[in-house]
Structure 1
Amino acid sequence: MRLTALACLLLACALPPGARGEQAPTSPRSYANPVDLDYRYNFEQLQQGISYRTGADPVIVRHGDAWYLFLTIADGYWRSTNLLDWTFVQPSRWPFEALVAPAAVSDGDALVLMQSAYAPRPLLGSTDPANGRLEFLTRLLPELPTAVKENWDAHVPAGQIPSGPWDPDLFIDDDGQWYLYWGSSDVFPLYGIALDRNARGFAYRGTPRPLLALDPAHHGWERFGQDHRGAFFPDGKPVGNYLEGAWMTKHAGRYYLQYGAPGTEHNAYANGTYVADAPLGPFTYAEYNPIAYKPGGFVQGAGHGSTFQDAHGNWFNSGTPWIGVNWTFERRIAVFPAGFYADGQMRVSTRFGDFPHWMPTQKVDDPEALFTGWMLLSYRKPAKASSDDGDHLAANVTDEDPRSFWVAQTAQAGQTLTVDLQGEKTVRAVQVNYTDYQSGVFADGPQIYTSFRLQHSRDGRRWEPLAEVGDDPATRRDRPNAYLQLPTAVRTRYIRYVHGHVGAQHLAISDLRVFGNTDGPAPPAPAQVTATRDADRRQASIRWTPVPGAVGYNVRWGVAPDRLTLTYQVFADRGTQLELRALNTTPGYAVSVEAFDERGVSPLGPVVELP
């Protein structure tokens, strides 16, 4: 495999000190999911006395020399010039209520914004989005025209179109023609229609076309529930598989209509794509689906997002991981490296998708080359705290589960949380993930910010500074998922969090994650990998031999041995087998397993064919 100069640099950076006799460079910079963003508090549950930080349905659009990020119910948006540092922009005007799953597109002159709606609503535009200046492009988009369509489902009367457009996506083709895609339902398909833009605003051209629908009988990953095992309402009725999150990408003359399924409430939320030679189809299902899939690890879920490029032409795909502590729809956002094979197959790399990745400084051929090689040093390591509430203990901060957490007895400054790495390790980055536990935040205000110090020690007695967050009042902000890449690698054993401030009334941390490397060679490859396809071809049973000392395994699969594009991460203390329920019935697959520990990643084990 040919590596670019940058990829070679990144692979060198991934080696632990001693392997090349130098420390990691201060550039390029890295990031880790969930994205380090000042997620806004959501007050949908005020009547229940619940508030929590959340973000979902990310739309990332480049306009001018910056990228703009729009989320569900944020009352504003974010701006970045490097895809690492995001600044919240408070708009001059807003479409009268909080946006849900908005659409955004740049036509070169203006950034255009459209909200989800069940009735005609305005479209906004800005030639100065950096300063939040939004103007009306049209006061009301017209009613959707009625279309006579094929009866896609027995529950959908022929010719009926749901009110909307809900979950819209705006796309401008190379010839300047605008298109609108939308849909969010467990019954209806995704739709598309051409738009005319003129001096009076926007008008529809033609009638809506149904473009794609779920087919869970043949697409295992489109089945609802945790690991696609289904879910049920209190009355026993099964929850339907959900189709939403339309996003159009044009690449090499072909049109990739992406969608999220089967539901944001579980670990298996994913993105798939249909492909066509024209913007309104006909579309063909991509047998390599899903394209973005991350059911295991700390960040779980990758559905409903957007696909975009950085300044160097590298592709990324954003999505919506699941938190679900305070409410079903408590979520974060994630960004994964993406790309296209020469034959057009779309790929999104979620392998080690919640470990640090480099933000590239030039074009990179292989998305997986952006993985830093910094491994998780904190998994199941001993942790102790200065206090706890008696129920939520310090041991929870190293279990890689955002739904378990530590709660301090008070939120006063000076509370400490210490992780023992059980030996001196090379530490390169730390991520502090807060939890909203009885937060008591019911209005935005100046006190919603995060401050803390990180310290380290080799012996647990003498402490040295490692990093500091929120010390400058002019630049501090809320950082629910604060990720800190150290300027230089530090050789140490203990990592200590020293509390400063949180906006909530409780100090609660789900995970204190430490990344770097332990000295020594990477683990050996797992042996005796077996994979058996079930009678239900949507499922397969995969087993492998344990690797001594492994922290975890990546089960990797795809439609060819050299295209193991999909990953399910399994921690070693959870066994050496996986029931994979995300397959499509038609194609054959190739499956393999790799092991990882604190030293690095093994070679792939035997590749097994699944006819």
Structure 2
Amino acid sequence: MNRIKFLLFILIVMVSIPIKLVSQTNGKTEWFDPNIPATTYCNPINIGYNYVTENHNNIPVSRRSSADPVIITYKGDYYLFATNQAGFFWSKDMSDWNFVYDSFQRNPREDDQCAPAAWVVNDTLFYVGSTWKRDHPVWKTADPKSGRWTRHVNTAMLPTWDPAIFQDDDGKVYMYYGSSGKLPLVGVEVDYNTWLPKGDQADYETLYQATEVDDIQKAYGEIREVVGLEPSEHGWERFGPNNDMEPAPWGNFIEGAWMTKHNGKYYMQYGAPGTEFKGYANGVHVGDHPLGPFEYQKHNPMSYKPGGFVVGAGHGNTFADNYGNYWNTGTCKISVKDRFERRIDMFPAGFDKDDVMYSITSYGDFPILLPTESRDHSKGASSGWMLLSYKKPVTVSSFEACQDVETNRMDHGGEKVYERICYGASNLTDENIQTYWSAKTGDKGEWLQVDLGKIMEIKALQINYADHKATQFNKAMDIYYQYQIFMSNDAENWTLVVDKSRNDKDVPHDYVQLTKSKQARYIKMVNIHNASGLFAVSDFRVFGKGLSEKPKSVSGFKVDRSQQDSRNAMITWKKQGQAIGYNIYYGIAPDKLYNSIMVYEEDFYDFRGMDKDTEYFFTIEAFNESGISERTKIIKAK
């Protein structure tokens, strides 16, 4: 009896002790190992975007942002510089980005290197930001990971906003710059040692007061106009949310110069017509000399993404990876907390057999293959994994009530208005980066749960945090996220699949590629630590294979080009029952359908991005969780 009583006592004590679940995996599970590098990435680029202090809506709200990226290779690594980041990022594989703190500010109230330029000369990395002032240094280093830079010159003597630097094969160095609704981009050869324009001594006082290109050229004759806009001819260069503001209230903006040399030709790239619009794109003119004259490439814009979760592809740069494959970076928009609330994206790019420059953005916000060798980018670099989470039902631990929020949206003509914004669970799967769900707190234990509707094969996840009611401004040492993801077939028996309970990195658009795919119907994310503010997520995106039928080919596809304005066309088709969305492809020839427009659920698209005197060819395909349909027969829009 005594032995039985003793055993009962021990059992009672054990039952009364609370069970504390502590991860002993170091992040490794059967399906995910954080030490195994990913073979794919997903836009927006997952870097620790800075919490920006300046707000163009004049509303004191914390929000992350960056834009105007430049990625270059240096000593075998990739370096990413962008607007107002208090430093820069580097990566070995273009997937896992590491931050180096490096403030270049002269005055804490000024931008920390807005729209910077970076370039390599021999064994030295150079860096400079935008300025309208005289006291802006050009920096250099041979060891950027150390965070140590020195001034190459203490004063950049030109009012260079959105600068780009290009060194030609003969060693000559050129600078391009400009960001304006009135002025074109300009270029000039500069002296490497002094960073002054080559040629006769300039009248700098006149130069700094110049407002027109003619005045600049009078002040310094060597500065040349290189690229301007012609929105009356090129529909995609028109200002407005859908290229629909004529005349443009602040002018049609051109900015973001970048130069690429290929097969002896010079490709002068630029961003237009405005960073806060879905049609923000990169265009290109081609010439035989670094300072032109340049001719508008018939295939334009060369990088364009007006639809999908990630929207916008303008103002970036073109670079070659370590295997010689080209990529084009760009700026994508959120534009809710601020019209300049932005992120960074990157798409496969290249030159075709006719030396036409292109960028492939189709399925550009689905997982994209990272480079491991030289390859043909003309068909993109899609992983083939489809979106499994679109409009799937979601349950959550709690949610914030709707609020009337003051905004300054461009589609209201720049006037301040109040919009009712709701933070319900349906925002988590709507493929709209501007909407988000928010829990009532940022506490450990808040959760979200997605029902895929049936068992599917899951290969990757993307968690897009939303910074709701964040209190952080600028950088700090303790900005990171921690969470766990569980999966189930019945919503009762759960398996820990992704364990980031010990993560210490800032991952606002965390992309998780499983090292081993997992079949499941339900996915649950449990918050452990939130970086700042409430636990809020824009979209919880799931990728893989739907394990059912892909949609049939689309029928009734038509392109009705306007006779009154050939820049415009109404594109229509019949909805395909199994489809969740469609990709419209178009281009200047049947074998050059490089540009695409992603549309969810609808059966039409109001397209305003064509050039007046150009023939275009169109086709369309449908997609769902299980794959992509055959494309329709290519049709011509004269």
Q: Match of 1:582, as an amino acid?
A: G
Residues 1:118 and 2:132 aligned together: yes
User: What's the secondary structure of 1:77's corresponding residue?
Assistant: strand
Q: Deviations over 1:110-160 (max 9, x none)?
A: 111111011222110011111111000001123x4xxxxxxxxxxxxxxxx
1:559 aligned partner: 588
Shift of 1:443: 5.0
Shift of 1:533: 1.2
Does the CA-based 8 Å contact 1:557-1:591 persist in structure 2?
yes
Shift of 1:196: 1.4
2:44 to 24, 34, 39: 34
Q: Distance in 2 between matches of 1:466 and 1:295?
A: 34
Q: Deviations over 1:161-203 (max 9, x none)?
A: xxx11110000011111000001000000000001113xx322
Q: Match of 2:469, as an amino acid?
A: Q
2:155 aligned partner: 140
User: What's the secondary structure of 2:426's corresponding residue?
Assistant: helix
**How large is the RMSD of aligned CA atoms in angstroms?**
1.8
Q: Distance in 2 between matches of 1:438 and 1:459?
A: 34
Q: Flag the 1:332–1:470 CA change in 2: closer, same or farther, 3 A.
A: farther
Q: Distance in 2 between matches of 1:27 and 1:560?
A: 39
Shift of 1:229: 1.7
1:227 to 242, 252, 255: 242
Q: Flag the 1:301–1:369 CA change in 2: closer, same or farther, 3 A.
A: closer
Shift of 1:381: 0.5
Q: Distance in 2 between matches of 1:357 and 1:24?
A: 19
1:245 aligned partner: 256
Shift of 1:230: 2.0
Shift of 1:469: 2.5
Q: Flag the 1:610–1:48 CA change in 2: closer, same or farther, 3 A.
A: closer
Does the CA-based 8 Å contact 1:93-1:134 persist in structure 2?
no
TM superposition score normalised by structure 1: 0.89
1:388 aligned partner: 399
Does the CA-based 8 Å contact 2:552-2:578 persist in structure 1?
no
Shift of 1:447: 2.8
Q: Deviations over 1:345-379 (max 9, x none)?
A: 01100000100011021011134351011111111
Residues 1:270 and 2:281 aligned together: yes
Q: Match of 1:225, as an amino acid?
A: G
Does the CA-based 8 Å contact 1:28-1:361 persist in structure 2?
no
1:57 aligned partner: 68
2:295 aligned partner: 284
Q: Flag the 1:520–1:442 CA change in 2: closer, same or farther, 3 A.
A: closer
1:537 to 566, 576, 585: 566
Task: Provide structure 1 residue ranges, at least 5 long, that are not aligned to the other structure.
Answer: 1-22, 145-163
Q: Match of 2:527, as an amino acid?
A: H
2:603 aligned partner: 576
Q: Distance in 1 between matches of 2:74 and 2:361?
A: 26
User: What's the secondary structure of 2:379's corresponding residue?
Assistant: helix
1:425 to 448, 451, 456: 456
User: What's the secondary structure of 1:321's corresponding residue?
Assistant: strand
Percent pairwise identity:
40
Q: Match of 1:506, as an amino acid?
A: L
Q: Distance in 2 between matches of 1:94 and 1:471?
A: 33
Q: Distance in 1 between matches of 2:518 and 2:552?
A: 27
Q: Deviations over 1:209-238 (max 9, x none)?
A: 001111000000001111212289xxxx82
Q: Distance in 2 between matches of 1:404 and 1:212?
A: 36
Does the CA-based 8 Å contact 2:378-2:594 persist in structure 1?
no
Q: Deviations over 1:257-306 (max 9, x none)?
A: 10000000111100000000110000000111001100100000000001
Q: Match of 1:34, as an amino acid?
A: P
Q: Distance in 2 between matches of 1:486 and 1:460?
A: 20
1:402 aligned partner: 433
- Residues 60-71 of structure 1: pairs in structure 2 closer than 5 A: 60-71=71-82
Does the CA-based 8 Å contact 1:230-1:239 persist in structure 2?
no
Q: Distance in 2 between matches of 1:204 and 1:365?
A: 39
Q: Match of 1:265, as an amino acid?
A: E
Q: Distance in 1 between matches of 2:179 and 2:558?
A: 38
Q: Distance in 1 between matches of 2:468 and 2:104?
A: 32
Q: Match of 1:111, as an amino acid?
A: L
Does the CA-based 8 Å contact 2:325-2:377 persist in structure 1?
no
Residues 1:527 and 2:555 aligned together: yes
Q: Match of 1:434, as an amino acid?
A: Y
Shift of 1:610: 1.1
Q: Match of 1:188, as an amino acid?
A: L
Q: Distance in 2 between matches of 1:339 and 1:597?
A: 28
User: What's the secondary structure of 2:427's corresponding residue?
Assistant: helix
TM superposition score normalised by structure 2: 0.85
Q: Distance in 2 between matches of 1:379 and 1:259?
A: 34
Residues 1:377 and 2:388 aligned together: yes
Shift of 1:442: 3.0
Q: Distance in 1 between matches of 2:487 and 2:446?
A: 16
Q: Match of 2:593, as an amino acid?
A: L
CA radius of gyration, larger in: 2
Residues 1:481 and 2:509 aligned together: yes
2:198 to 197, 201, 205: 205
Q: Deviations over 1:535-581 (max 9, x none)?
A: 20101121122211101000110001111111110102xx2111210
User: What's the secondary structure of 1:493's corresponding residue?
Assistant: strand
2:180 to 181, 185, 206: 185
Does the CA-based 8 Å contact 1:326-1:436 persist in structure 2?
no
User: What's the secondary structure of 2:428's corresponding residue?
Assistant: helix
Aligned residue-pair number = 558
Q: Distance in 1 between matches of 2:253 and 2:329?
A: 19
Shift of 1:93: 5.8
